[in-house]
Structure 1
Amino acid sequence: MPIKIPDTLPARRVLEAEGVAVMRERDAIRQDIRPLRIGLLNLMPDKISTETQLARLLAATPLQIELTLVRITDHVARNTSADHMATFYRPWSDVATNRYDGFIITGAPVERLAFEQVSYWREFRSILDWTQTNVHRCLALCWAAQAALYHFHGTPKHELQRKAFGVFAHRNLVPESPYLRGFADVFDVPVSRWTENVRADVQATAGLTILAESSESGLCLIDDPRRRMLHMFNHLEYDTKTLAREYERDGASQLPLNYFPSDDPALRPRNRWRSHGHLLFGNWINEIYQTTPFDVDTIGAVTAVDAAAE
């Protein structure tokens, strides 16, 4: 099944050119099927690229996905046009009464600030709490993963002396996890961050399971089943050239390791993580499909009963 996104969203043209099945809104209405409702709180500066990357992975599943783009209510995006935001995004205050099968929260360019210094921290915390009552399963990426662990568990982040930047080999620590179904024992993941969560802090928190980590760049993927949250600190969703664009944006100040062939930025990088990006998102969507209530209105009520029974 294809993904349902607005007919005029820029990501549509890119995905259709790649051969990705994208459904027109009028066709989706005619199908007698309940699509999975997925919300995307996009905090990344380049929102259009992030929309495209995540829509591509969601569209690769065999289920119909209805994607809603969400923004912080009062935060004004600096790198995306006001017209784009007004046309395609809904403020969280407008969707706070909705219920979603899945909800994705991206990273944000604020990771070197203390969480409490982030201008939208209060609303962000409200959104995290809302996921516990209005969302069946949540996927937090990069800064959002760190912020969720801090909010729910008090897990601190630690600033790195040097940016973790490049493509690093990661070990599959729990191959029986449904989120790692089909993963290799070792797989490459793009990394781009100035902060980290450390193993000792995570192990000190009951109920968290480390699913993948790297000896070079640290923790990668953490499961928090009681909160129905999956935390990904890195970027399997990245395009082939995303790290190259970040390298150029930062004035070529730090070469991304293990990314350019022979570490030569004049050579085109090779995508070594695409298949595992599809696996992760496909596994996450499958877990949602297998466990979400058919009646959307019971999302939250059903999961609250399940949590109380644990």
Structure 2
Amino acid sequence: MPIKIPKGLPALSALEKEGVMVMDEAGPTFQYHRPLRIGLLNLMPDKINTEIQIARLLGATPLQVELTLIKTSSYVPKNTSSEHIASFYHDWSDIREQKFDGFIITGAPIETMPFEEVSYWGELTHIFQWTQTNVHSCLNICWGAQAAMHYFHNMPRYLLNEKAFGVFSHHGLDSCSPYLKGFPDDFHIPVSRWMEMRRTDIPPGSGISVLIDSSETGLCLLHDPRHHALHIFNHIEYDSTTLADEYFRDRDAGRSIHLPRNYFPGDCETLHPRNQWRGHAHLLFGNWINRIFQTTPADLATIGHPEV
């Protein structure tokens, strides 16, 4: 089934060229079950590419998804045109009375900054709390996952000696988890971060389970059932060239950056990288959407009611 996205969003034409079934918001609804409402709080500076990456994965599932793009009300994005933001994004303050089957919070390029110094941290804490009553299932990515673990569990972060940057081998730890359905024991995921959270700091009795980790880069995917959330510290949603774009951007700006590991063929930056994670990205997002479909209330308005 197609993903339903705002009319005119650049992701529409990009995904159509890739063969992804998409429809704009003016199109008809084809399935008997209502579309799943997924909100995307997009904190990334390159909003259009992030929209495409997330919509590609949501649109590959057999279920119809209605994607709502959201931004914080307390911060004005600087790297995306105001016309694009005005045309396609809703302030969280304007949709806070609505209910969502799923909600995604992306990473943000503010990783080494203390959470409390982030200009929109106060609003984000309200959003985290709001997800507990207005969202059936959350997926927090990279900085978004770190922020959620800090807010809900007071987990500390640690600065790495060098950036964890490249494509690293990961291991699935719970083959019975519905979120890891179809995953092999070992697989590759892109990593791009300066900070880490550690297993030893997971609070006892929190109910958190580690679903994916890496011997090289540590924790990757956590299941947090008490807050009906998945927290993924790495970027399984990335395109083939996203790490290359980050590498050349930082190198050309004179920032300290090493070649992404296990990425360019033969470590030759002039060769096109091979995507080793695409299938697993589709699996994870497909499993998440399928789990939402199986467990979300039929009546959207009853999301957040403890008796449902």
For the aligned pair, the TM-score class normalised by the smaller chain equals over 0.9
- Which of 298, 305, 308 matches 2:307? 305
Percent of residue pairs identical: 59
More displaced stretch, 245-254 vs 176-185: 245-254
- TM-aligned CA deviation for residue 31 of structure 1: 5.8
- TM-aligned CA deviation for residue 251 of structure 1: 1.0
Q: Does 1:85 pair with 2:89?
A: no
Specify the alignment match of 1:56 in structure 2: 56
1-structure distance, mates of 2:32, 2:172: 39
Specify the alignment match of 1:238 in structure 2: 238
1:305 corresponds to which letter in structure 2? E
Where is the helix percentage greater, Structure 1 or Structure 2? 1
- TM-aligned CA deviation for residue 27 of structure 1: 2.3
Runs of 4+ in 1 over 3 A off after TM superposition: 29-33
Q: Does 1:260 pair with 2:259?
A: no
Specify the alignment match of 2:16 in structure 1: 16
1:283 counterpart SS class:
helix
- TM-aligned CA deviation for residue 220 of structure 1: 0.4
**Contact 2:96 / 2:130 at 8 angstroms: preserved in 1?**
yes
Specify the alignment match of 1:122 in structure 2: 122
**Contact 2:12 / 2:24 at 8 angstroms: preserved in 1?**
no
Specify the alignment match of 1:294 in structure 2: 298
1-structure distance, mates of 2:126, 2:114: 17
Specify the alignment match of 1:65 in structure 2: 65
More displaced stretch, 267-276 vs 20-29: 20-29
1:258 counterpart SS class:
coil
- TM-aligned CA deviation for residue 202 of structure 1: 1.8
2:117 corresponds to which letter in structure 1? Q
Q: In structure 2, list runs of 5 or more residues that go unmatched.
A: none
Q: Residues 29-178 of structure 1 correspond to what in structure 2 (within 5 A)?
A: 29=29, 32-178=32-178
2-structure distance, mates of 1:104, 1:205: 25
**Contact 1:166 / 1:259 at 8 angstroms: preserved in 2?**
yes
Specify the alignment match of 2:284 in structure 1: 280
2-structure distance, mates of 1:66, 1:127: 20
**Contact 2:45 / 2:77 at 8 angstroms: preserved in 1?**
yes
**Contact 1:153 / 1:205 at 8 angstroms: preserved in 2?**
no
**Contact 2:208 / 2:224 at 8 angstroms: preserved in 1?**
yes
- TM-aligned CA deviation for residue 7 of structure 1: 2.1
> Structure 1 146/17 Cα, relative in aligned 2: closer, same or farther at 3 Å?
same
Specify the alignment match of 2:219 in structure 1: 219
User: Paired residues, what number?
Assistant: 304
Deviations 1:129-149 (A, max 9, x none): 000000000000000101101
